[in-house]
Chain A
C-alpha cells in the first residue's frame, strides 16, 4: 500500500500549484479571522467592559440630622455574571458642611469594622486601636490612610451611595 514514488503522478504545473496554495492560504486565513476574531472578542472582552454603576438607596434623608455619624445597614442587589446577588452591607453616614459623606465601614489598616465613639467624638477600630476623626482622617494608630468614602448623591430626597466607587 505504501508508496513513496510521488513524482509519478499527473504532470504538475508549478504556476497552478502556487496559485492553489495562495488560495488555500486566503481561505484558511478568512476562516481563522472570523472564528478567531469573534473568539478573541468574546474571551478578551472583560478587559474593556467596565462595570455598571450600581447606586444603592440607603434611605430617605428626612430622618437624618447633622451631628454624630450614624451607621446604616442596607442590602445591595447586584449582578454577578448572570446571577443577582444580594449582599447585606453597611455604611457610616455623616452630614458635613451641608454635604453627605459616606464611609466604607472597614478600617483602612486591615479591614476591621470600626465604630463611632460618641464620647471621644472619633471612630475607633477595635483591632489595633486605630482612631479616625469625624472627617475620616487618621488621628492615631496604625491605619495608613483616611477612611474610604463612597460617592453619594441625593435623588428624590433619598440618599444614594455607590459602594464600588470607594475612594480615599
Chain B
C-alpha cells in the first residue's frame, strides 16, 4: 500500500495537495455562517446529478417536452422524487447563494485581498440566475411558457435594440421550438461549463488567500485605529490574518465537519420538500390562452414588482437602468469600499444601506406575492385537457361536428355527455362495431389511458339543457358583479367564456358555496337567493358559454 501511495505521490504529488487543501489552518472564529459557500457547492453537485438523470428522459421540443416531463413524474421509478429534488434544489441554491453573498457583504470579506474572489462570486451569482431563468421554460407548461413570455417581453422593451435582443433570446420572432432548444442548450451545456470554470477559480482563490477571518474592529485593544492612511496597512492586515490563522484548526476534519453537518441538514430539508411538495406540472403551454395569470418564480418577484412602479415609457428606462445599477453595485463594491475596515461597526453607512436594500427586496417580494391575480384561477381537469388534445390529434372533427364545426359523417357531439354514460362511451371507443353494429367509426385501437381521457372529454360536453328563464336569473343576480358579453360590472371575473374552463357541476357548487371551492373567493353564496333548481339552471346556461 505504502509503495503504491509513494508511487502515486511521485507522479501526482497528492501529499502536497492534501497538505495545501486539507491540512491548511482555518482562522479562529470561523463558524456556522461560513458553511453557506459549501452548501451552495453541494447544491451545484445535487443539481448536476439530478439534472443529468432528468436529461435522460427529456426531449426539448414543444411536441414532446411536456409529455416527457410528465413521463418522468408518472412512469419512471424515482422520477417524481428526482424532479422534486431538482426543482427544490434550484430554489435552495438561489437562497444559499444569496445568503452566502450577504454573509460576505456584512462581514466585509470581499475586501483586500479577496476582491477578485468576490468578483468571481458575483459572476457565479449571475450564472445561477441564468440557470433559474432557462430551466423554468423546460417543462413547457403554462407557467413555463408565460413566465418566459414575460421575461422576453421585458427584454424587448429595451430602447433601440430591444427587438434584436428579444429575437436573439428566443431564437426567432416567436417563443417556440427554437427558444426551447436554445434554452436547453444554455441550461445544460453553456451554464454548467461556465459555472465549473468560475467555481474552480473561486475555490482556488478561497484556498490561496485562506478563508477570511471574522471581522475585527480596526481599533483593537486601544491601538490607534488602522486606516488606509497607514502605508503599511496591507502588511498589517496580512500579519493579523496569519496570527488568527495559527490560532485556528485544520480544515480536515474540523471545518469539513461543520460543512457536512450543514449540508446534511439542508439535504434532508430539500429531500423532504421534494417528497412532500414534489415538482408541479401545470397544463400544457397554450399560447392562445387568455385566462392565464403569468407569475414569475418567487425569486424574480421583486424585480417583477419593482417594474410595476415605472409606468409607461419609464418602464423601458427602468428595464435597462435597474439591472445596470444592480450589476454596477455588485461589481463595484470592492472598489468603492476599500481599506482595512471590515467590521460592520466600522462601516456603518454601507451596512445600513445593505440592510435597507435587503429590506426593499423582501418587501417587494412579499408585495409581488400578494398582488391580486387579474384572471380567475381556473383549475382544469387534466383528463379533460388530455382528451381534448387527443380529439384534435385523432382528427375526430373530420367526421364529427362540435359547436357547428366539423364533418357530418358521424353524429354531432354537442351535449354528448348528456346522452351517453361513461360505460357506453368507453365501450364505444374500444370497439365501435360491437356497440353500434354497422357504424362507420373505425376502431382506433386506442390505449386504455387514451379511452379514459376521451371519455372524460366527451362527458364534459354534457352541459345539460337550461330553461328560457336562465338568462333572466343570471341578469338579475350576477351582472351586479360579473361582466357578461359586454354587459355588467367588473367586480368579479368576466363570465362570457366560463364554459370553456368549467363544467356545470363545478359552477353549481361554486354558486352554492364559493368559499368551499376557492377559500379566497370574495363572492357571496347565492344559496339563499336562488332555489337549487334555479342554480342548476344558471349553471347549465353558463357551462354553455364559450364552448
Interface residues of A (CB under 8 A from B): 1-6, 8-10, 12, 17, 20-21, 23-24, 27-28, 30-31, 34-35, 38-39, 41-43, 45, 49, 54, 56-57, 60, 74-79, 81-84, 156-158
CA distance A6 to B267 in the complex (A): 32
* Cross-chain contact A57 with B25 (CB below 8 angstroms): no
With A77-B445, A83-B67 given, name 9 new contacts (CB 8 A): A1-B210, A9-B246, A9-B247, A10-B28, A38-B78, A41-B77, A41-B78, A57-B431, A156-B434
Interface size on B, residues (CB 8 A): 58
* Cross-chain contact A27 with B447 (CB below 8 angstroms): no
Instruction: Pick from B71, B77, B79, B246: contact of A8, CB below 8 A.
Output: B246
Closest Cβ of chain A to B273, distance in Å, is: 14
CA distance A167 to B372 in the complex (A): 63
Closest Cβ of chain A to B25, distance in Å, is: 5
Q: Top 7 A-B pairs ranked by shortest CB distance? A: A82-B71, A82-B67, A38-B78, A42-B78, A27-B264, A45-B77, A6-B23
Contacts of A157 in B (CB 8 A): 434
CA distance A6 to B128 in the complex (A): 36
Contacts of A4 in B (CB 8 A): 19-20
Contacts of B50 in A (CB 8 A): 35, 39
Closest Cβ of chain A to B547, distance in Å, is: 26
* Cross-chain contact B19 with A38 (CB below 8 angstroms): no
Q: A6-B23, A27-B264, A35-B49 are in contact. Are A42 and B253 (CB under 8 A)?
A: no
* Cross-chain contact B24 with A43 (CB below 8 angstroms): no
Cβ-based interface call for B147 (8 A): no
CA distance A81 to B72 in the complex (A): 10
CA distance A5 to B25 in the complex (A): 9
CA distance A40 to B479 in the complex (A): 58
* Cross-chain contact B64 with A82 (CB below 8 angstroms): yes
* Cross-chain contact B76 with A42 (CB below 8 angstroms): yes
Contacts of B401 in A (CB 8 A): none
Closest Cβ of chain B to A129, distance in Å, is: 34
Closest Cβ of chain A to B430, distance in Å, is: 8
* Cross-chain contact A20 with B246 (CB below 8 angstroms): no
Contacts of A60 in B (CB 8 A): 433-434
* Cross-chain contact B445 with A31 (CB below 8 angstroms): no
Cβ-based interface call for B260 (8 A): yes
Contacts of B28 in A (CB 8 A): 10
Cβ-based interface call for B171 (8 A): no
* Cross-chain contact A56 with B67 (CB below 8 angstroms): no
Q: A10-B248, A77-B444, A81-B57 are in contact. Are A156 and B431 (CB under 8 A)?
A: yes
15 pairs across A/B with beta carbons < 8 Å? Answer: A1-B208, A4-B19, A9-B246, A12-B249, A20-B254, A28-B260, A34-B271, A39-B53, A74-B445, A75-B444, A77-B444, A82-B71, A156-B434, A158-B433, A158-B434
Interface residues of B (CB under 8 A from A): 19-20, 23-25, 28, 46, 49-50, 53, 56-57, 59, 64, 67-68, 70-71, 75-79, 81-82, 85, 113, 208-210, 238, 242, 245-250, 253-254, 256-257, 260-261, 263-264, 267, 271, 430-431, 433-434, 443-447, 450
Instruction: Pick from A38, A82, A156: contact of B82, CB below 8 A.
Output: A38
CA distance A1 to B235 in the complex (A): 11
Contacts of B82 in A (CB 8 A): 38-39, 42
* Cross-chain contact B24 with A27 (CB below 8 angstroms): no
CA distance A39 to B57 in the complex (A): 13
Closest Cβ of chain A to B43, distance in Å, is: 12
Contacts of B263 in A (CB 8 A): 27, 31
Contacts of A84 in B (CB 8 A): 447, 450
Contacts of A31 in B (CB 8 A): 263-264, 267
Closest B residue to A37 using CB positions? B78
* Cross-chain contact B25 with A23 (CB below 8 angstroms): no
Closest Cβ of chain B to A100, distance in Å, is: 17
Contacts of B53 in A (CB 8 A): 39, 42-43
Contacts of B81 in A (CB 8 A): 38
